[in-house]
Amino acid sequence: MPQSHGTRRRPDPTPRHGRSGRGRSGRRRGRDTAEVPPPRRSPEARDPFGIDGPEIRPPKKRRLRRLLTSNVTIMIVAIAAIGAAVVLVDISRFVDEGDTKPPKAAEGDLSTNEMLTRLMAKTDMDPIVADAIAAAKKRAYEENKREMEELRKRAEKEAKARAELKERQERERLAKSNPSAKQNKAYGKKMNALKGWGRCWSSLLTLWNHESGWNERAENPSSGAYGIPQALPGTKMASAGSDWRTSSPTQIAWGLGYIKARYKTPCGAWSFWQSHNWY
């Protein structure tokens, strides 16, 4: 029986194997239409926001190496090094401080090792040299004593002589006046003990109280004797250190060497001074 026009089955224009990739039994899927992999992305084209996952981010070591070798980092390090070098420059040497700067010995404590170094550095003296220095000190003392006696006699008659005598006495007083005496005595006590003369400390203390008042800048206006031990001339102390003019440890080291060569100990030096008013 012929089919009616309205019920005739239309042919399917799509091949049977092309329907959603399946055949009758569904086992032919993907055979005729193989999947094409997506194109690879270059490292430059990867997502900077990390969508593709942590594996596409540059390694930390590589980023650190790039940072350390960048021109900006090198420039910053160079500027910092130059700044540090400028800070380390001692600008104080360009300032003329004159005599207002406190003595070097009064600025801080000196270590025991530094004291030993000064004591061992050319402070041992030949007895003959010490005798020559003592002879010069004796002549200076006797001359000063004679001049002072003449001034006293003249002062009884002349007002000018009295003024000169007063000025001379004031100069000697000021020569022994020293704001850093306490520190200098502390050095003297330690260095005296390092010499093995602890029992003679009181003798040394009294001896140099009479000689200089422990003033490293004390200068006798008559003889020119200088420093704490009243070296005559003061340049003799250069054998103990180039800073002999202002350094009390250097002067003390030289003075102890002189005492050892001539009087054996400060006890002997003080005993001699009591009899002669010089040592």
The predicted pLDDT at position 149 comes to: 87
As given in the structure block, the two tokens for residue 28 are: 């032919």
Return all residues near 120 (Cβ < 8 A) that are at least 6 apart.
Answer: none
For every residue of 239-271, DSSP letters joined together read GT-TTTTT-HHHHHHHHHHHHHHHHSSHHHHHH
DSSP string, 140-163: HHHHHHHHHHHHHHHHTT-HHHHH
Rounded Cα–Cα distance for residues 66 and 187 (Å): 59
Half-sphere exposure of 119 (CA within 13 A, CB side): 19
Which pLDDT does position 65 carry in this prediction? 66
Q: What span, in angstroms and rounded, lies between the C-alpha atoms of 62 and 64?
A: 5
How far is 22 from 266, CA to CA, in rounded Å?
Answer: 121
Please tell me the predicted confidence (pLDDT) of residue 114. Answer: 82
Ordered alpha helix ranges (H), the chain:
60-68, 71-87, 112-120, 127-155, 159-175, 181-194, 201-211, 248-263, 266-276
pLDDT given for residue 126 in this prediction: 85
Neighbouring C-alpha atoms within 13 Å toward the C-beta of 115: 20
Chunked into runs of 10 residues, the chain (279 residues) has average pLDDT values of 50 50 46 56 50 52 65 69 55 45 55 81 80 90 88 76 76 66 92 95 96 92 92 94 91 96 96 95
Residue 24: the pLDDT is 45
